[in-house]
Structures are given as structure tokens and as C-alpha cells.
Chain A
Amino acid sequence: MRENKQTIDGILLFSICALLIIGVIMVYSASAAWGEYRFSDPFYFAKRQLLFAGVGCLGMVFMMRIGYWTWRHYVITSLIVCFTLLIVVLIPGVGLIRGGAQSWIGIGAFSIQPSEFMKLGMILFLAHWLASRQQQVASFRTGMLPLLAIIFAAFALIMLQPDLGTGAVMVVTSFIMLFIAGARKSHFALLGAVGAAGFVGLIASAPYRMDRIMSFFDPWSDPLGSGFQIIQSLYAIGPGGLFGMGFGESRQKYFYLPEPQTDFIFAVIAEEGGFIAGIVVILLFGIIMWRGIRTALLSPDLFGTLLAIGIVGMFFVQVLINIGVVIGLFPVTGITLPLLSYGGSSLTLMLIALGLLLNISAHTRIT
């Protein structure tokens, strides 16, 4: 195994930075009305997003500069920390409840989302474990079962908040990593069956999830209730047309879209920038996906490959679910759009993860 001193992937870095800049600008545009209304400051959200982006970039640069293999030493520690945080957030009075889910720890603005940390912690752990015990992965009992137990434990804790979106992203990312690591297809079939049953069970356990799915098939059956968010999102995108309404000209951001700067930022982008802006953003996401998988392919070791695919998998699954919801392909799920949505934990952690990916890209083999 030969390593070459190389520079990081420029295309990847460029795409990340481009999306980050678009994100800060669009958070401003999307949130100006809400910021003015709630905090008498149209720049309220934009300023904070800029701060998060700054902190995130520091993290990214930091990760870029440290060899990714270094983190193998801290894998177990970080997993334990993440589990602890997931338990702490559930303690009444400690975890902060926002939007019906007890997902935050901290004071006011400076709060973190343990589930976001867990996504990254799980990726690190799985990459380390699978790289060390690659031969066992074909065995169900010694390879798959212990991992599934850990993944399920994390998922269960996240579902207690409850946060189906983040939990689902973590599970799907984990499965992608298992798949790449060489897990048997028959095991996946089994997992698929169990997963489908669990999914049905989860939906049955919370009526609002059923509403969301029904409203996905016919949003107009309950336009002011469960169909409201999808309809408002489509009202933003539809009138956008080819070139959009122009920057700052969104109407749906005036209190029609529930949180235009977070989950529905893509709707505002497609409304103000039209089809063109939408395509540019999707293509940038596609490029990151492509360069990420390329990094995984060319990684000098299996740990790097799995780490890279874990990060890019998490990244792209979130893109798929978020945009899918906004354009009416999926039922409403609370997932942020990487690099674009407003949010402290999600943005900084995503940048840290991408820093890791960039570092791997700097150590690719020359083929």
C-alpha cells in the first residue's frame, strides 16, 4: 500500500464552498421576514448562520490538516460520549424541546443536537470496526449482529426524542457502509424485511406520521392541516419557473412556509432563482457525491474508504430526503439540507465531516 503526498480534492472543496456561500445568502433572503417579525432584525438568522459557517470552516480546516487515521484512536471514546449525550438529552429539564422533539442540549442559542454528533460518531465507529474485522462481516452472528445492536440502540435513543429524520439518515448511512464493507446480500434482504416491519410499526405508533404519509399522496385533502407544508412548498416552487422571482422576491417566505430558512430553504431557492438555481444546487450536491465516492474508491486503506463513503452517504441521503420532501417526492420529514439550511449543530458537524473527507481525498492513491 503506497501513499503519495497529494493536495486535497479541489473540485470537492470548491463545491463545498460554493454551496456554503449560497447557503448563507439564501438563509438571509429566506429568513429576513421571520427575523424582522420575531427579533426585529432581518439579519438575525443570516448573522448567526455566518457565525456557524465560520466555526464550521475552522473545524473543517482543522480536520483537513490532521491525518484521518488519527481518529481511529478516539473511536470508542467518541461513541461512548455520543451515547451519553443521547441519554442526557432525554432527561426531563436538561434536554430542550423544540418543535415537539427533545433534541437539544445547552443554553439558548448555544445548544447542540446530540443526534447530529451521533451520526458522525457512528460513521467513525463503523469505519473503524469494519476495517479491523472485515472478514467477519460476512458472518451474521459475529459480524452483523453486534453492529446491528449498536446501530439499533442509537436509533432507539434518537427515536425517543423523537427525531425520525435524523434516525433514518443514521440507519441508512450505516447500511451503506455495511454494504460497501461487503455484507452479504441475503443479510440485507433480511434487514430490509425487518426494517420494513419496523417502519410500519413506527408509523402506527404515531398518528401524525400516518397523516404525513396520507397528505403526501393527496396534500389537498387537508390543506390547512397535514397537507399544509407540502402545499406551501409547492406554491413556492411552482411560480418560480425558469428564472425565478428574483433574489429577495419570494412570497412564500412571508410566513406561508413554516421555517423557510431551515427545512424548506430549497423551496425558497427554487422560488427566487427558478429552475436554473435549483439545477445548479442539485448539480453541486451531485458533484460532491461523485467526488466523495471517488475519494472512497481511491482511498489507500479500507478505513478511509469506509469513512469516506459514510460521510458522503450521510451527506447525500440528507440531500435526497430534504429536496425530495420539498419537491413533493417524499412525505414531510424534518431533515436539514447540508450546507444550505440554517442550523448550528447540523452545519458545523457537516463541515467537520467534510473536512475529514477532504483529508482522505488528500491521501488518495494514484491509479
Chain B
Amino acid sequence: MSKITRTLVRRRLLLLLLAGITITFILMIRLGYVQFALGGWLTEEAEDSWSRDLPFEAERGEILDRNGEVLATNVSAPSVLVVPRQIVNPAESAAQLAEILEAEEQEIYEQITESSSIVRINPAGRKIEQERASKVRAQRLPGVYIVEDNKRHYPQGEHLAHVLGFAGIDNQGLTGLEKYYDERLQGQSGYVSFFSDAQGQRLPDMADQYEAPQNGMDVRLTINDQVQTIMERELDIAEASYNPDGALAIAMDPDNGEILGMSSRPHFNPDNYQAVSPEIYNQNRPIWATYEPGSTFKIITLASALEEEEVDLDEDRFHDPGYIEVAGQRLRCWKKGGHGDQTFLEVVQNSCNPGFVALGERLGTERLFDYIHQFGFGEQTGIDMDGEGTGILFDEENVGPLERSTTAFGQGVSVTPIQQVAAVAAAVNGGTLYQPYVAKDWLDPDSGLVVDSQTPIEKRDIISEDTSAEVRRALEHVVAQGTGSGAFVDGYRVGGKTGTAQKAQGGRYLENNHIVSFIGFAPADDPEIVVYVAVDNPKDTMQFGGVVAAPIVGEIIEDSLQAMDVPKRDNQVEKELTWSDVPYLDVPDVTGLTLRELHDANYPLNIEVSGEGEEIYRQSPAAGERVEEGSTIRLYMGDKSTASD
């Protein structure tokens, strides 16, 4: 080996050594980079890949009425779970499960032989009845387990069905409040996670982590279950009596926009929503339906004219010949021949169309439409439910005298029931428009404490307190002495307005097919409730709101106010009696009298006597209460000595 070669080899070897040392350092630096710079992130990722989560379902929040009555809750419904690796005889197990669960054997077989660690038998084995679960348990099939699960239950059945909506098989809200507030009701599911090897076996010496589920919040609604029950009962009767195409009712507290009751017909049972077509459960008519309001809309015209001081109800007079000429067209009053000469209070009482055309004329297009918008028509009320309608108003640009005139008495516009309720509430509550709402308080499911509350949402002040009082007076007269007499409730000072809307189809009005409605409130001195009822195309009756809808509203108001402990008033506008009306009288004090003395007094009442003794020592109803003539009063007999005990 030459000297030159030796030097070359030596130089190249040293070069190689340098390269080797450099590589050694690069390896060490890279190792440090992975372990320190990337270490944190890699550790998190690795822990994710090691951990296996077993979900713990959160319990869905309950829905309660304003007094705590349960409207939607959860009931235990077990599910069948299978660990395929533990199944001994798949064919036989599938056959037995299929028989109990009433499912296809092939389908079950495929599910229990899946290459997965845990399989839920779906859908046949999900949320099944307890009996079925016991049968499965009794088979003692290896690898087949029954686990606790729960499903939604609506204890009130059809009541409030559209408002509540329903939740699906995975406890997810599908319609109604269940959907609108799904996120809050749902809660957050928890899990147990354990570290596992790549084959799913538990790793030794690693602690389990438990993340408790966060149950969904309970919600307390503004709904009063008693009012709701009364409302549903009345609509049941109406449906039985008139066989209508549909019906709806809303009750609201005019002082804050809280919905007290809401019903839509046809209705359904949320526990069994599959039994009806989606059209039925998707259409919550009280907020969804839009139609011509008819005369109920006159309340808006009236309130506007009063606020603008364009009319004095008692002093100003109007002559109705049965029609009014507007822009060369004759607009007819509903009464043939007209109402003749009348005060404007009587115009309201009689629901006289030409009279309202005159009010509209006094206001002018601009002011009338400004009020209509102010009262919330033409926009959604913003109620906390999905599927609210908007309604249609005339485009103000195109409003001529004719359009203004029909609008003034509620034709040619289209509104939703909830808009009318909110607007009328504003007209009678002192002039403030509130946003209607249903969800009132959110409660922590464990402590029951209120976590979040919805306070009344004031939108705007529209008319003065004085104007509002005048509107109430006029509408009380409508019920006591006018077209709304069917809604009269003795002592509760009901005010209101009828409506008979023509249904349009293909640009024409239908013959003998109306939506008859009535909107009422009570008591007129300080309204506690506004109730709106509409019946779509009632059969075998005169299709007038006063005939069909007003009595329903009267019943709802009477029973509801009693349920709400609202005291009766004694300074009402007395009812103008017709031949069919029965007079009222104050119950006399008869205690201390003998039966003979009572007979001599000759009260127009039936009596029912119970107990032994000479004298009446107690009576029901008490003295001073108002009852219809011919009512029965109950008398309890006793001796003076016993009475003094």
C-alpha cells in the first residue's frame, strides 16, 4: 500500500467518522424533539387511542306546567344489548330473540354476529316493554344483556301535544318545544373510559375515568295545566258537536305574554305520534295558520281610532243603511237592511261593517296601517316555537280606499291566531305589546333550583291606558249587549269580539265555508286572560263566530278564571236579556229559617235538604252569590243547640 493511498484512506476514514458523529447527534436531537417538543400533544393523542368510552346517557329534562304538573317525563324502557363474542349458539339465540322481539330472525342473526365488541339490537330491541325484557332475561342466553334505558312519556296524552312536540328513539327532540329547546333538555352524556389494548382488553394498572352525565335541565312552562285541560275539553265538545275541519284555541296572560294554554285540532298523542300523518303533528295551527281574521280585526281599527281621538263612542253617531259606497263599490253590512242610526258604541256592539269603514276613513290609510304594524301584524310574534307564520298585509303602496276599507273590518288581510291574541292583549292591557312565550323557568334537575328565567318581553307601547280602558268598555258591551253574548259569564265581565272569516281558495271565497272565531278577555276592569278560539268550517250550524266560538270562549274563561282564583266582580255591564236567557239573582240568606218559613218566602230556587233538625244552619252557595234562577241550593238542617257548637 503506497503512502499516498494510506493518506487517502486515512482522510476518508476520518471524514466517515465525522459523518457518523453528526448522525449520532442528529438522532439524539430528533429523539429529544419528539419526546419534549411533541411529547405533550403525542401523549394526549395516545391517551385518546388507548381509552375506550362506555357512554352513560344523560336523562332528558322534564317539561312542567307553571304549577309543577308534569307534562313530559321519562319512563324506564330497557334495551337488549349483545356481546357477539360471548354468544354460544348464534342461530338458536337469533331465533329466540326474534320470537320475543317480533323481528326478522335473519336481521337479528346478522346483528348478533357482527364483529363488534357491543351491539344494540336495533330497532326491535331498543326501548322495549318491561314484560318483553323479562322474557329475554328469562331465556338466559349467554352474551345477551338487558340494560336500563329510558324513553319519553307524555302523561297528559293529547293535551298540549303540538306545543310539547315529541322526542325520537334516541331521545332527540323532533318537533315542538322538544325540538326548539332540544339542546338544553338533552343534557350532556357522560362516560366511563378505561385504557385498553389494541384488542379491546382492559390494560392492567390503569385507573378508569368517570365523567358523570349532565342531565338535561327541567323546564317550567307558562302553561297552566288546568286552563289547558279546560281548553282541551271545550275543543273536544266542539269537535263532537260541529265536526269541523279543524279548531284551535289560545289562552294568554295579557299582562306579560305568558301563554296559559294552546291547542290545535286535529291533534295526536305524542307517545304514539306515528299513528297520524306528519301534516297533523307538524302544523301547530295557533301559530302556523294564516287566514282572514274577519271582525276580530275591528278591535285594532277601534283602538287606533280611539287613540287618535277620531271618535267618541257615546257622542258620535253613525247611520247604517246596510251598505257603504267606497270608490264606486258597495260594501255591504252583514245585516240586511243595516243597523240604522246608532252610536259608535253600538257600531262596535253590532259589529257594523259600514261603521268601521267610516272609522278607517277618519284614520286614513297611513295611520291605520301604521297601527296595524305597531300591533305586530305582518311580522312573526317571536314566540319560542318553530313554524310560526307571518301573515300577509296589503302592500301599503297599493292601498286605495277600497283596500283600506276592507282592512278596517278585517277582510283582505291575512294574520295568524297568535298575532291576534298578542295584538288584542296589547289593546286591553293598557297598551303594551308583549312577545308571547312558553318556556318560563329552567330548573337544575338535581337541586330543582331555578337556573335561568324568561322575563316578560315588552315590545312597545302602542296606545294609552285611557284608550285601552275605552276599548275594554266597548268590548264588554259587545258581550253583554251585542254580537258576543254567547261568551257572557256572569260576574267575570267578559269582553270580546266575534269573527267570521271567509276562506279563500284559488283567489275566490268559498261558499258556506268559514273560520268562525271569537276573541275574549276578562275581567274587563283588569284582564287576567285573553282567550281566542277558532273553528274551521263547523257543520250543521250557522257559521257565525257569535254562535259557535263565543260560547266556547265563555266556558273557557269562566272555568279558567275560577281555577286561577280570580274573584268575580259586581259592577259589570248587565246583560241585555233575550227570550232564551235566564235571569240571575243573589242567593238570599236563609240560615236560621225553618223549612216552612222558606217556602213562604217563595224564592225562585230549587232546594235540596239534608240532615235532621228544625232549622237551616248552613247553606250552599252562600248568601250573596249570584246564581241563575231555578238553580238548586243545598240546605243543612240542625237544631239551634247543635248549630251553636
Contact = CB atoms under 8 A, between A and B. Distances in A.
Contact of A238 (B8, B16, B20, B35): B35
A254 B198 contact: yes
A180 B12 contact: yes
Contacts of B43: 238-239
Contacts of A116: none
A361 interface: no
A286 B28 CA distance: 11
Contacts of B1: 134, 301-302
A313 B26 CA distance: 17
B34 A238 contact: yes
Given A251-B50, A327-B30, A329-B30, A134 B41 contact: no
Interface SS of chain B: helix, strand, loop or mixed?
helix
Given A285-B24, A293-B20, A324-B27, A242 B35 contact: yes
A297 B10 contact: yes
Contacts of A33: 197
B13 interface: yes
Contacts of A37: 199
Contacts of B23: 316, 320
Interface in B517-576: none
A240 interface: yes
A321 to B, nearest CB: 11
Interface in B3-25: 5, 8-10, 12-14, 16-17, 20-21, 23-24
A278 to B, nearest CB: 5
Contacts of A320: 23, 27
Contacts of A282: 24, 27-28, 31
A290 B13 contact: no
Contact of A180 (B13, B24, B26): B13
A182 B9 contact: yes
Nearest to A302: B1
Contacts of A286: 20-21, 24
Contacts of B201: 254
Interface string A252-277: 10111000000000000010001100
Given A275-B32, A309-B16, A235 B42 contact: yes
Nearest to A1: B1
Given A238-B46, A251-B203, A301-B1, A275 B16 contact: no
Contacts of B38: 234, 238
A241 B198 contact: no
Contacts of B195: 251
How large, as a class, is the contact surface on chain A? 35 or more
B9 A235 contact: no
A179 B32 CA distance: 32
A88 to B, nearest CB: 35
A293 B24 CA distance: 14
Contact of A289 (B5, B20, B26, B32): B20
B115 interface: no
A328 B20 contact: no
B210 interface: no
A242 B47 CA distance: 18
B40 to A, nearest CB: 8
Contacts of B205: 249
Given A180-B9, A238-B41, A279 B28 contact: yes
Q: Which 3 A-B pairs have the closest CB atoms?
A: A238-B42, A254-B197, A255-B198
Given A234-B34, A324-B27, 19 more contacts: A180-B13, A234-B42, A238-B41, A241-B36, A254-B197, A270-B31, A270-B35, A275-B35, A278-B28, A278-B35, A282-B31, A283-B28, A289-B20, A293-B16, A296-B13, A320-B23, A327-B34, A328-B34, A329-B30
Interface of B: 1, 5, 8-10, 12-14, 16-17, 20-21, 23-24, 26-28, 30-32, 34-36, 38-39, 41-43, 45-47, 49-50, 195, 197-199, 201, 203, 205
18 contacts: A179-B12, A234-B34, A235-B49, A236-B46, A237-B34, A238-B34, A238-B43, A254-B197, A254-B198, A286-B21, A286-B24, A289-B24, A293-B16, A297-B10, A305-B9, A305-B13, A309-B13, A313-B16
Interface of A: 33, 37, 134, 176, 179-182, 234-242, 249, 251-252, 254-256, 270, 274-275, 278-279, 282-283, 285-286, 289-290, 293, 296-297, 301-302, 305, 309, 313, 316, 320, 323-324, 327-329
